[in-house]
Structure 1
């Protein structure tokens, strides 16, 4: 099986970042109102995997399935469309929006630009799957695959946008570039607002654990901030997960001064959507006091999660998860609860636990999905 490293967050309980106010219930309602006005909008499903929960020995397991969002097979269209709408509000000028991506964000941006009658230029890192490149090109974007890793590709997109007069729409922040990433993060709030509303409608028990994938961390930070804003002292324990080849938040949590750490190299992980070595400063500022644990895991953890979700327990729905989707959390839960019960106990996972995970993508790399699971994926479903 795969390898995992996990640690208790030494910074948990620090004073929350002032950025928290950007991800309030009011901001979530504003983003959701915008998305509900889009022709392609429909709330994505929330699956209750009772059979899998029983086999893991936890009280409940819920999967918010973003593979069906806007027909894009991933959640990223939420952030891109919201940001573009705010950036282009009231303007009749045709604008070119540019970004770097590992796949899903670029496809979301290309789709949003097309929906708004604008242009998009999308840069991808070396080694990007052909299917991901083609999916972005099909949305009408000018796609450029580089010979660089993800973080270097981000810098290239920044330079090219400035040189050509394009508007950079990147989902990670850095000093002097904060407005756009924050708009993108606010756009993500629609999915978590839907999820907690669906849990209430189903009279589900209180969620005790929220497992969140981190690449640059923007998604995880927005979800964590919303959960705390909504539930306060009853907020779930937040577990942040990363691939071991790109575990910049796990490494950041080990520093003694609270500073963010950078992971270099080619970031060679199957979890392409999480292959980021430089954490967003905004995301680290939010997650540093809110996360209970940080976890670094090998690709096999995600692969096992993909297989488990593709071949569901009796009574459960099949869920098609890409490498960076709910598979990461499900593979981790399987490793902890079945093979390392002492670790599960230390994370507070037991028969009273109710776990929420987010399937941020379906089979965005169909060839690898077939290789890992032995099955075919059609859209977001088997």
Structure 2
């Protein structure tokens, strides 16, 4: 499925709240806070000239978030960042003064954090980030996971000391259960999706993601002409599209949101012109994107600054995982999890369809930006799909460098 944005809000200015959340000043503050993280390092921006030549575009750049903060996913930028912000804000109220990030590990702030419990629902990556953030500040974390989350992903979250709570049903069921329990117990929900009356914290999560956009723009020889970003509830797509729209203005790229065909809540929302919940059907291999209800904040952004919406099938996602692991020409290999390469899968599908290619104005001069949103967050599943262990794929680059 492919749709151009025909919603009434298309090309209207961002809501002032979203413009502030995703603006340059806020993004600069995200980067300032990241500098105080012990394991912070910019993730690689990888050029794929071989693939670009093969599909007939000028350049493809992949922001490889599989290396982010030791968590293997872009989500490391969101949940932990929001937890830290919330702890600092709570400390300001408790202490009656301004509290800076430099005081995060002070005895006063740690005492405030110890009295807090943060909670969220997750498919895996967001919960890992929230749990890591709680561990960093000394707060307690309660993470709700639905029945489709693998034991390996649950264990990866639990290692940060979080209390793991299983919920029957889908991701959206776990979101509702987390909100219910947190309200009853006085916990703070740190969700990456939003609903009526709950917008600010998901906005902070999205704000954290702006760091990857700033890093990428600094490294690219020229700004991209086209961007393809995958979407679950819409947070990463909205953060990238919103920040690019603010930063680049009239020079902003043509932005396409890519959904799994089996859980296309953003695409169906675009088709309806308002937020809709899609029916739960057969699970998708793109587990981190298996969401059936969009984030209201994310949609408010995307309805204004996304240019197109499309779906990809499970086979498309798998093909891109294998293509990145076994690159063409002299391109470097990239370890992309089941959801990681979905934006690139959208590009490959778009250029193969003359009508979509023309609608998006993709030509030989196009400069494409995509994000590998996750590495092999479930190594066993990755090896089953690709036929190689993640370490074996990464070793290809080391062997190439030695040669």
**Common fold: TM-score over 0.5:** yes
Alignment deviations for residues 262-304 of structure 1 (CA, whole Å, 9 cap, x no partner): 1122561111111111111111111012111101121111111
Aligned equivalents of 1:330 and 1:287: distance in 2? 19
1:152 maps to 173
Query: 1:171·1:184 contact (CA, 8 Å) conserved in 2?
Result: yes
2:375 to 362, 365, 373: 362
Q: Distance in 1 between matches of 2:266 and 2:349?
A: 21
Moved over 6 A (4+): none
Question: What's the secondary structure of 1:356's corresponding residue?
Answer: strand
Q: Name the structure 2 match of 1:108.
A: 129
- Check the 8 A contact 1:23/1:186 in 2, yes or no: yes
Structure 1 residues not aligned, in runs of 5+: none
Deviation at 1:334, TM superposition (A): 2.5
| TM-score under structure 1 length normalisation | 0.93
Separation in 2, partners of 1:218, 1:6: 20
Look up the match of 1:277. 292
Contact 1:67 1:380 survives alignment (8 Å):
no
- Output the aligned Cα RMSD: 1.6
Structure 1 distance, partners of 2:195, 2:366, is 37
Greater helix percent: which structure? Answer: 2
1:253 aligns to what SS in structure 2? helix
Question: What is the aligned counterpart of 2:144 among 123, 133, 154?
Answer: 123
1:247 to 264, 273, 276: 264
CA contact (8 A) 2:228 2:347 kept: no
CA distance in 2, matches of 1:54, 1:293: 24
Shift in Å at residue 335 of structure 1?
2.8
- CA gap of 1:278–1:379, structure 2 versus 1, over 3 A, is farther
Aligned twin of 2:311 = 296
Q: CA deviation at 1:346?
A: 2.4
Q: Secondary structure at the match of 1:122?
A: strand
**In 2, are the aligned partners of 1:73 and 1:364 still within 8 Å (CA)?**
yes
User: In structure 2, how many angstroms separate the alpha carbons of the residues matched to 1:15 and 1:64?
Assistant: 27
CA distance in 2: counterparts of 1:75 and 1:333, whole angstroms: 20
Whole-Å Cα distance in 2 between the matches of residues 72 and 238 of structure 1?
27
In the superposition, the TM-score normalised over structure 2's length comes to 0.89
Give the equivalent residue in structure 2 for 1:8: 4
Specify the SS of the correspondent of 2:331: coil
Report how far residue 178 of structure 1 moved: 1.2
| 1:97 aligns to 2:118 (yes or no) | yes
- Which segments of 5 or more consecutive residues in structure 2 lack a partner in the other structure? 92-108, 396-403
2: distance between equivalents of 1:186 and 1:329? 20
Q: Give secondary structure in 1 for the equivalent of 2:368.
A: strand
Equivalence for 1:374: 387
SS in structure 1 of the partner of residue 74 of structure 2: coil
Change (3 A) 1:283 1:56: same
